Amino acid sequence: MGYTADDRGFEALALATSLARRADAELVITLILRQPSPYSGAESGLYTNDPIVRERVTTWEREALACVPDGIRARTELRAADDEASGLLDAVAEHDASVIVIGARSNPLLQAIAIGSTANALLHSSEVPVALAPVGYGHTTGVTRVTAVYGTRPGAAAVVGTAVEAADRRGVPLRLLSLLPADETAETVVDEAAEQVRRFGGEALGSRAEEVLAREATTVEVVGGTDLEDAVTRVDWIDGEIALVGSSRLAPRGRVFIGSTAQRLMRRIPTPLIVIPRDYSYGPASV
């Protein structure tokens, strides 16, 4: 996860902690220091070997670790990089991370989640799902429900598959949420879902999906409205819930590329949002 020692960082940390519970995941709390370019003048920037920076960073690391509850494996890591996004992507590659967790920049003009430049860069290039903690997020005791959000188009296999897998592994309720459907009903959603999961994760996960979909805890909501924003406001969210959305059709294969629908959702949904890469494939390192 990406960490800055401010409110956004602590919100991301809370979400990362919540995700790591019951997923047997290790948290890598990554602090990025800008790598000053020698061409910007040798006096520029603060260096990683400066004793002042060293002390400050150590304090930040200690603060972060103090927030991690017992029982969750966590470590901090200091990285030097040209910018936060590339540093985080390096960390993802090195640790074979399953998800990047970052905080959203607060912007008083936009509600709930507004994207900063780091988030924006990650949401258009990451090869692993990107989880965004909304401003003010503080739930650390584990995911309570997993919701796969579909836009107006049929939900992507990756979103449904990942959601089924994540809910099943954590043993929490699953919700399939279809917004602004043209001619969908709860039944058609369920019928398609198992097939989509089978395409995503093969026969084994497909049959798990049929089982999960048949559970009482699994809910299907088909919500309409005058527009997307209107539809979203009709949906209830519970504390500790996570929402999964897919990438734009414009996304290069295997990468996150947030679409305009997902961007609109981000501003309305009060719950953490996880953006799944296009054609994300099922593997052991899942959300």
Partner 1 sequence: MTSQKTSTETAPPGGEAQRETFHAKGLSVAKVGAIGGAIIGISCIAPAYTLTSGLGPVVSVVGLQVPAVLLIGFIPMLLVLFGYRELNSAMPDSGTSFTWATRAFGPWIGWMAGWGLIAATILVLSNLAAVAVDFLFILLSQITGNPDIADLTGELWLNILITAVFTALAAWISYRGVEATQKVQIALVGFQLLALGWYVVAAFVAIGSGNAYDYTPVTLDWFNPFAAEGGLTAITAGVSLSIFLFWGWDVVVTMNEEAKDPKRTPGRAALITILVIVALYMLVTIATLSYAGIGDTGLGAGNPENQESIFAVLSSPIMGPFAILMSIAILSSSAASLQSTMISPSRTLLAMGYYGALPPSFKRISPRFKSPSVATIASAVTAIVFYTVMRLLSENALWDTITALGLMVCFYYGLTGVAAFWFFRRTWFRSVRNVFYRFLFPLLGGLALLAMFVKTAVDSYAPSYGSGSALFATTYDADGVAQDGVGLVFVMSIGILVLGVIIMAVCAVRNPAFFRGAILPRAAAPAGE
Q: Which is nearer to partner 1, 28 or 231 (CB)?
A: 28
Location of structure tokens 């994207």 = 115
Longest dimension (CA), the chain: 64
**Beta carbon of residue 232, minimum distance to partner 1 (angstroms, whole number):** 29
**Beta carbon of residue 65, minimum distance to partner 1 (angstroms, whole number):** 6
**Beta carbon of residue 10, minimum distance to partner 1 (angstroms, whole number):** 10
Q: Which is nearer to partner 1, 68 or 189 (CB)?
A: 68
Spatial CA neighbour of 251 closest among 131, 122, 163: 122
**Beta carbon of residue 246, minimum distance to partner 1 (angstroms, whole number):** 30
Number of neighbours of residue 33 by Cβ within 10 angstroms: 18
Determine how β-strand 130-133 pairs with β-strand 273-275. Answer: antiparallel
Q: Which is nearer to partner 1, 87 or 155 (CB)?
A: 87
Q: Which is nearer to partner 1, 63 or 279 (CB)?
A: 63
Q: Which is nearer to partner 1, 94 or 187 (CB)?
A: 94
**Beta carbon of residue 88, minimum distance to partner 1 (angstroms, whole number):** 13
Tokens for 165, please give them: 């897998």
Helix, strand or coil, per DSSP, at residue 207? helix
Spatial CA neighbour of 27 closest among 90, 75, 66: 75
Name the site residues for partner 1 (rule: CB under 8 A): 4-6, 8-9, 33-53, 55-57, 60-61, 65, 68-81
Q: Which is nearer to partner 1, 38 or 283 (CB)?
A: 38
Q: Are 187 and 179 in contact (CB under 8 A)?
A: no
Please provide residue 114's backbone torsions phi and psi, each rounded to the nearest 5 degrees: -125, 140
Which residue intervals of the chain are DSSP H helices?
7-20, 51-67, 84-95, 117-122, 157-170, 186-214, 228-233, 260-268
**Beta carbon of residue 47, minimum distance to partner 1 (angstroms, whole number):** 5
